[in-house]
Structure 1
Amino acid sequence: MEYHQDRFDDYSLMIYSDEKLVALLPGNRDGKMIYSHQGLSYGGLLINDKLRFESYIEVFKALLIYLQAESIEVLHLKKLPFIYHKTLSDEISYVLSALDANQTGFDSYFVLEDVSSYQPNRNRKRAIKISEKEGVVIANDEIAFFWKHVLEQNLAAKFDVKPVHTIEEIKYLMTKFPEHIKFYSAKSGNEVLAGAVLFVTDNVVHFQYSSGTEKRTENGSLDALFHFIIQKYHHKKYISFGSSSTDKSLKIDKGLAYWKESFGARVMPQESYSIQTKNHFKLDTIFK
């Protein structure tokens, strides 16, 4: 996370049992509040997969007591979407309920499961055939051109925003994590028609950034690009198509939702909560 350390007051924590590291909290501080890091797409408390539930409760209580002693009143926690879990693990839902946590955010992601049996719908198949007739090919170059002339322009025109990362930052991260951050482009000759930046983890291939030119409907370039990527990563458990919310709330872009569903994706939430650190005592009542 050091590439954007100037934007955040880092407050990441490591939690030990005796001398053994058992949990991590990537975080940043803002006055009397700490966030499970605002510079990360997802986060929350990361735990050792051998930790028993009783120990998990003890860890979370110790965390809240520590934060309260440090004059931090509120912990803002982004819940880790279950698709990223390496093992069955949802202790945090129980803890959030016990602590009377307040939900502060609700983002919607469309996710394709069982990628090995993927079948796009009739409209997507038609677009893919058009891309073949138009001579669209998939490559993994021209990220700088895609960033400046496709992605940035589309985000500015539609949402009046910029990408969270700069092109320099994303290229730096790609050099640090070459197996986990990938870029693919759809081209006709030397012309870049569409592109996608992927974050690749053990279970998930996530479309972090994807966009196409105004001609993408006519030439099926973005459809062809997604089709290629889904087939390439057929061995993964999930393909995440990214957020479909218009403002990190229950509002969803209807057209975007349909487009993702036409590849077979289904909706799943990403929730955010606020926890009063003083409520740590409420965890004492879980076990009798």
Structure 2
Amino acid sequence: MGWQVIAFESELEADWKEVLAKATNATLMHQRSFLAYHKKRFHDASLILYRGDRPMAIFPAHREADQVFSHKGLGYAGLIHRPCSFDQEVQLYLQLLRYYEAQGVARLQIKATPSFYSKESTESLPYIMHLAQAEIRQMELSLAIKLPLKVRHKGRKANILQAKRSGLQVVEEGEVELFWDTLLRPNLKKRYQKKPTHNKEQMQYLKEWHPDNIRQFMVYQNGIPLAGATVFFTPNCLHTQYLATNVAGRKQHALDLLIDYLCTAQAAGRKYLDFGHSNECGGRKINRDLFRWKESFGAIPFHHSHYNLSTGAWRHLERVYQWKNDPMDA
């Protein structure tokens, strides 16, 4: 059976979904309905890789001049594939790079999906990038809580217990507007002089398209909002896309209660809660206070690498083995 690498078109969405359903490292961000949100900003260059007639992998990407990115509009992307051997994964990257080179693409930049999103080990990826002589363009340090939650920090444990005794109520909401207007935007502006990556209309649009994957939680006391979180649900993780509280919420430890609630009442067999990174300046600096706050819940660090490589690197991968048989037949 031969290889086919085909540029994504809407007629191939069923094949894209088939890979997502079988892949070990697929998440919400790789769905076409999520990528469609960016269609006006980026020139899509996504691919589907086939072995014979069987879709084996997808590659969410966009093109700018002679470079392809996977993906500037997403927190992470890269090659999303069915369970496969190391040899097979090497062959997938070889075929992908060779295709892009033939299309006049000179460089490929990959923002890899963090390892804890995968159901299986992803330790092979850094080595494949090494074989392809890729450069690490940027590296961040993501922090994730391994579930079930085990808080060992005495102060954090006391805060959670106090919040539970204070009559605070966690509520799931259908709209994000209250969170954006009363907590998120004011908090980011005051503490960091920043705005959310998404405005409330954009997030509400994404939430309505993915109601099971994007959910909004609020913490109230006597009907007054104290804290909130916009949470992305993926097969292996919960990701707190946005977290915010106010002065009253900090005094009542509302975020402590909310994190505990997400890790217990909403985990549903997932293995991690992803806090995201606490980096600044392209990963070269760390917001120490934010980093330590996440660590106090038992969160542990995972590197998140951004790779830059030549599309001609498929030749390096071709020379890794003296191929006696096609690895896809193994």
Conservation of the 8 A alpha-carbon contact between 2:70 and 2:109? yes
**Aligned pairs (5 A) from 1:215-226:** 215-226=248-259
Task: State the secondary structure of the residue aligned to 1:116.
Answer: coil
In structure 2, C-alpha distance between the alignment counterparts of 1:68 and 1:89, rounded to whole Å: 25
The 1:130/1:117 distance shift into structure 2, 3 A limit, reads: closer
Shift in Å, 1:244: 1.1
CA distance in 2, matches of 1:80, 1:124: 30
Q: How does 1:129-278 map to 2 (within 5 A)?
A: 129-141=161-173, 143-232=176-265, 233=267, 235-278=269-312
Could you say which residue in structure 2 is the equivalent of 1:11?
45
Cα separation, 1, equivalents of 2:206 and 2:298: 30
Q: Measure how far apart 1:120 and its partner are.
A: 4.7
Given the two structures, how large is their TM-score scaled by the length of structure 1?
0.93
Task: Answer yes or no: is the 8 Å Cα contact 1:152–1:162 preserved in 2.
Answer: yes
- SS of 1:64's equivalent in the other structure is helix
Unaligned segments of structure 1, at least 5 residues: none
Contact 2:149/2:263 (CA < 8 Å) preserved in 1? no
- Structure 2 unaligned regions, length at least 5: 1-34, 323-330
CA distance in 1, matches of 2:91, 2:142: 32
Deviations 1:22-59 (A, max 9, x none): 1111001111111112111111111121x333332222
Give the 5 Å matches for 1:21-36: 21-36=55-70
Query: 1:213: Cα distance to partner?
Result: 1.0
Query: What is the CA–CA distance in structure 2 between the aligned matches of 1:235 and 1:57, rounded to whole Å?
Result: 31
Spell out, residue by residue over 1:242-268, the C-alpha distance to the aligned partner (whole angstroms, 9 max, x if none). 221123313111111111111111111
Matches of 1:251 and 1:236, distance apart in 2: 30
CA contact (8 A) 2:151 2:296 kept: no
Alpha-carbon offset, residue 270 of structure 1: 0.6
Identity level (%): 28
**Which deviates further from its counterpart, 18-27 or 152-161?**
152-161
Distance 1:31 1:191 in 2: 50
8 Å Cα contact 2:70-2:77 kept in structure 1: yes
Determine whether 1:286 maps to 2:320: yes
| Greater RCO (Cα-Cα under 8 Å, separation 6 or more) | 1
Deviates more, 1:146-155 or 1:204-213: 146-155
| Alignment-derived partner of residue 154 in structure 2 | 122
Q: Provide the rounded CA distance (Å) in 1 between the counterparts of 2:137 and 2:149.
A: 36
Q: In 2, distance between residues paired with 1:264 and 1:41? A: 23
Cα distance in 1 between the residues matched to 2:293 and 2:85: 41
After TM superposition, the structure 1 stretch with the greater mean CA deviation from structure 2, 158-167 or 63-72, is 158-167
Which digits, 9 at most, give the CA deviation of each residue in 1:104-123, with x for residues without a partner?
1111111111x225225211
Q: Which amino acid aligns with 1:136?
A: L
Aligned equivalents of 1:32, 1:23: Cα separation in 2: 23
Correspondent of 2:143 among 98, 101, 110: 110
Measured on the aligned residues, the alpha-carbon RMSD in Å equals 1.8
Q: TM-score, normalised by structure 2?
A: 0.82
2:132 matched residue in structure 1: 99
Q: How many positions carry a matched residue from both structures?
A: 286
Q: Does residue 79 of structure 1 match 2:116?
A: no
